[in-house]
Amino acid sequence: MGDRISSAEMARAAEAARLEIAAAEKEDFLEAINGLFAFVRRQWETLNTEAVTPTAYVRNLKSVCRPDVPRASLPRETALANAPDAADGCFRVPKIIENQ
């Protein structure tokens, strides 16, 4: 904790989130993101949380289950109605090729 995020590290994260960062906005993005990291570090500078258990869920609910009972699925036309591209009752996506 403490180092700046490098441009390469930001690019890797953007890639993992499938986000493009245009060349023109790269600088701004890097500045802003390092600003966020700096903000967080500053705020927690003096805080020791070693002995604290993390909270993932704020309500203490456990083992919430439903019975294995079928519910109507969507009619196929409805399921596909919002699809940007569909064919043969399926969602259609462009060619899947190797990375880069």
Q: Which positions from 5 through 64 interact with other proteins, judged by CB under 8 A?
A: 5, 9-10, 13-14, 16-22, 25, 28-29, 32-33, 35-37, 39-40, 43-44, 47, 49, 52-59, 61-64
Q: How far is the CB of 36 from other proteins (least distance, A)?
A: 5
Structure tokens at 52: 């604290």
The residue behind tokens 């456990």 is 62
Q: How far is the CB of 29 from other proteins (least distance, A)?
A: 6
Count interface residues toward other proteins (CB under 8 A).
72
| Closest C-alpha to 99, from 7, 18, 6, 10 | 18
Dihedral sign from CA coordinates of 59, 60, 62, 66: negative
